[in-house]
Amino acid sequence: MAKIKVAEYTSLPERIGQVVKIDGEEIVLFKLSNGDVRAVENRSPHPKGGTLADGLVSGEYVFCPVYDLKISLSDGKVQAPDEGQVKTFTIVRDGEQVYIDL
């Protein structure tokens, strides 16, 4: 696995998506209110698409800003009654440095 630096922890805004591009793929980072950082692909699982970076974050979930799908930031699964999933990425924090394991 490749460990890629994506942000400084203190520069991440709380509960607001921060988009990074790695090898042409858009990934959105979310710093939760408990201080944890999560990363998911910046793509709505809805068939018509869209992005998640502007989604509303509540606890461990992000709400798709267009289709209002509730998506777990831990496993990427859309919550019932809706269906779908987004890819998640492992975050490693080393002091103030935030890395993604690919």
Residue ranges covered by each domain of the chain: 3-101
Domain 3-101 -> CATH class? mainly beta
pLDDT (tens, 9 = 90+) of the chain, 102 residues, equals 689 999 999 999 999 999 999 999 999 999 999 999 999 999 999 989 899 999 999 999 999 999 999 999 999 999 999 999 999 999 999 999 999 998
* Pairing relationship of beta strands 37-41 and 56-58 according to DSSP bridges: unpaired
Q: Is the torsion defined by CA of 45, 56, 24, 96 positive or negative?
A: negative
Closest C-alpha to 45, from 20, 19, 18, 63: 63
Provide the whole-model pTM. 0.94
